[in-house]
A and B are shown apart, each in its own frame.
Chain A
Amino acid sequence: MKEMLRAAFVIARRDFAAVVLSRTFIFFLLGPLFPILIGMAFGGLGSRISSTDLRPVVGLAMPPADAARMEQAEARLGERMAAQTLPVLRRVPLSPAPDVQLANANADVMVIVSGSLMRPIMTGQPDDIRRLEGDISLIASAALAERSLHLVHVEPQPVSTSIGAQTQGRLIIGRIAQIVIFFLTLLLAGMILSNLVEEKTNKIIEILAAAVPVDAIFLGKLMAMLAMSFVGILFWGSTAFAAFLAIKGPDTSIPEPAIGWPLFLMLGLIYFAMAYTLLGSLFIGIGAQAATVREVQTLNMPITMGQMLIFFFATYAVDKMGSPPEIAAIILPFSSPFAMIARAAQVDTLWPHLLAIIWQMIWVGLIIRVGVLLFRRHVLKSGGGWWKQLFRNATG
């Protein structure tokens, strides 16, 4: 075992250095930031487009006093409701008649509301009327109510703890942690698929296979890619944390996971490593069968779909702690890390994590072993029966 780990470390060191010291690694680090920057740019543009151009504009052809009260009511409702929920109100002349104004070539309102607050009349195409009559009715009702009713004052009664709020917060943390681990795994584990292609195309595989157990080759490659992922995560995590502090400030209060932040972050890293090595060991086994990069690319799609399926299964159980689906998600090795990180956010018992990590490690070993078996049989064309190969000594 010691010799195998030593050999795996030699392979890992070579792979890690080859990747991290290459120029393309800079693009790897910056890569995930591009979509965020593009998303922010397009998000800003998008919100400007939706706030200025996409809200329907309603013309008000009402007496000035009524029009003013409609505008005040719209502003007051707008403060409490989600942005861009209500239409934009714009005053239009009282004459000519609304239907004539709408037929004008320069008309820039969708419908026109005339009449009075008590009896507003909406002129427009049937579909537009159906879409907007509820909003106009609400605004008019609020405008009328403000004449006789005042906004009810809510008296605050603060408490130091609210289990309900804590539960909700922890559920959210669990979900976010699952999503983060899933995306990192999706982003990084796929690279393992093509990991042995270099050795096969450059004919190095025979030198490796003659010197060290194939298990050590697989393990070393996993170790290298995991270490490379940690470099990436450190970089992206630091960037995200700096951005968070810049946007939200250091005093922002965020809910605490059940086991506390330090332990939660540590378990987060461990479960990422487990999710990564579980999928990675599968990927390296599958990728090792591929002779060319093209074959690897073909395998990519079904594998990504499989990952999605596992993730959805794990997220399904996130708010059902202790339920059969959650237990099943914990037992199923590929969904286990996702289910367990959600559990760490919501339940403070620690021993299940130890069991889960051991369970996941057993599966990593088993999957590597099966991958090695397939590699020896189909790539190296080595002999021997399935069972003999599965349980053979690595140095056999």
Chain B
Amino acid sequence: MIGDTPASSATYAVQGHGLVKTFGDFRAVDGIDIAVPAGSIHGILGPNGAGKTTLLRTLLGIIDPDEGHRSLLGDPAPLRQARNVGYLPEERGLYPSMKAFEAVAFMGALRGLPLKTGRQRARAMLEDYGMGASAEKPIRQLSKGMAQTVQLFGTIVHEPRLIVLDEPFSGLDAFNQGKLEALIRDQARRGVTVLFSTHVIAHAERLCERVAIVAGGRIRFDGTVAQARDRLRPQVRLRTRLSDGHWRRALPAETLAEDGAWHFALPEEGIEPLLRALLDGNAGIESLSIERPGLHDAFVAIAGEAAARQMRQDQTRVEEEA
């Protein structure tokens, strides 16, 4: 495992060690170690087919791993913790003939919430969300986004300690994506651990305190977003009036010239020696920017350009479908 080593099951809401899951000859999960600190928002980032869903299903006890151990809220039998866990699967599913508030209450009842309480909470949640008029409607009469919201409420109606969301943003428009982000933050503020998978880096970057980058069934990185970004040196972009001079010798060897500007990673000794050389050589500094790399850059570096390319394709396809 890259990142922290689990200290105790009390501090980690989810733990997996040496998890392996194969389908035929395909190793969907290939020796994964993961630890999700309690109370954090933890993202699992990776392209489609990276093994995110299989990993989540294994951690939740829907499927058993071929090898390895897992624990959910400190319990090695995940279903024993069902009352404390909420799960939104990637493939959304609801009974079409069920009324919206009944669907929320039913999902709560599955996880031990009394039906009466579930109904009351469901009505309140739908009302607060502006869907009060749809509470009595059968699911088949709701829009896709509304049905998805109903399912999300069903995931949290029993007030779980851990919420697992598999691609929660897929199929939602920008407005509802924003609402979902707010809801996730709100749950985290209440001390709930949120573990979600996504192939959209922006969501992970905005929401997560920690991310696990998965590619090819393996975790390539597990740590904070800052740690992921710190794996790359800041990028310097320099534009000078003169294109040549003695000062050029101060530029790093891997410097690229692009669009009339110099691009290079911030040298380990800092920017000051270069600045001094530029000033002494009268290079004529027109602009100088030092940018901290984003999660996307970190992902590219960690998971490899091939995985990043696949993610971009996935994202484009999703946007086109939306």
Contacts and interface: CB of A to CB of B under 8 A. Distances in A.
A384 interface: yes
Contact of A203 (B65, B80, B91, B154): B91
Given A202-B96, A204-B93, A396-B79, A383 B66 contact: yes
B284 interface: no
25 contacts: A6-B112, A7-B110, A10-B106, A11-B110, A14-B106, A18-B97, A202-B94, A203-B92, A205-B93, A206-B57, A206-B62, A206-B91, A206-B93, A207-B110, A208-B110, A210-B60, A210-B82, A211-B82, A381-B23, A382-B63, A383-B21, A395-B61, A395-B77, A395-B82, A396-B79
Given A210-B60, A211-B107, A393-B77, A14 B93 contact: no
B89 interface: yes
Nearest to B111: A211
B101 interface: no
Interface in B55-107: 57, 60-66, 77-80, 82, 85, 87, 89, 91-98, 106-107
Contacts of B89: 203, 206-207, 210
A88 B112 CA distance: 76
Interface in B8-26: 21-23
A212 interface: yes
B89 to A, nearest CB: 4
A380 B63 CA distance: 7
B109 interface: yes
A198 B78 CA distance: 26
Nearest to A388: B64
A365 to B, nearest CB: 18
A210 B166 CA distance: 13
With a 10 A CB-CB cut-off, give which of A22, A212, A382, A384 has the most chain B CB atoms: A382
A396 B110 contact: no
Contacts of A40: none
A213 interface: yes
Interface in B27-57: 57
Interface in A356-387: 376, 380-384
Given A7-B110, A211-B87, A393-B77, A383 B65 contact: yes
Contacts of B110: 7, 10-11, 207-208, 211-212
Contacts of A207: 87, 89, 93, 107, 110, 151, 154
Contacts of A208: 110
A234 interface: no
A392 B87 CA distance: 23
A283 to B, nearest CB: 21
A55 to B, nearest CB: 56
A308 interface: no
A394 B62 CA distance: 11
A212 B79 contact: yes
Nearest to A202: B93
Residue among B61, B91, B110, B112 having the largest count of chain A Cβ atoms under 10 Å: B110
Contacts, number: 91
Interface string A244-279: 000000000000000000000000000000000000
B97 A381 contact: no
A308 B40 CA distance: 59
A168 B236 CA distance: 102
A396 B61 contact: yes
A213 B64 CA distance: 13
Contacts of A380: 62-63
A332 B65 CA distance: 36
Interface string A9-37: 01101100010001000000000000000
B66 A10 contact: no
A198 B107 CA distance: 16
Contacts of B112: 6
Given A383-B21, A395-B77, A203 B93 contact: yes
Given A10-B109, A14-B98, 15 more contacts: A7-B110, A198-B95, A202-B95, A203-B92, A206-B91, A207-B93, A207-B107, A207-B154, A209-B62, A212-B79, A213-B79, A376-B64, A382-B63, A383-B63, A395-B61
Contacts of B66: 383-384
A366 B91 CA distance: 31
Contacts of B91: 203, 206
A18 B115 CA distance: 16
A293 to B, nearest CB: 15
Interface in B108-152: 109-112, 115, 151
A386 to B, nearest CB: 13
A212 B82 contact: yes
Contacts of B85: 210
A14 B94 CA distance: 12
B162 to A, nearest CB: 12
A213 B87 CA distance: 15
Interface string A196-226: 0011001111111111110000000000000
Contacts of A203: 89, 91-93
Of B23, B85, B95, chain A has the most CB atoms within 10 Å of the CB of B95
Task: Identify the 5 closest CB pairs spanning chains A and B, nearest first.
Answer: A203-B93, A395-B79, A382-B63, A211-B110, A204-B93
Nearest to B63: A382
A382 to B, nearest CB: 4
Contacts of B78: 395
A14 B87 contact: no
Contacts of A395: 61, 77-80, 82
Contacts of B107: 207, 211
Contacts of B98: 14, 18
A111 B143 CA distance: 80
A10 B111 CA distance: 10
Interface string A58-97: 0000000000000000000000000000000000000000
A14 B106 CA distance: 8
Contacts of B87: 207, 210-211
Contacts of A393: 77
B205 to A, nearest CB: 27
A291 to B, nearest CB: 14
B217 to A, nearest CB: 14
Nearest to A389: B64
A380 to B, nearest CB: 5
Interface in B163-202: none
Which residue, of A13, A383, A394, has the highest number of chain B Cβ atoms within 10 A?
A383
Interface in A167-214: 198-199, 202-213
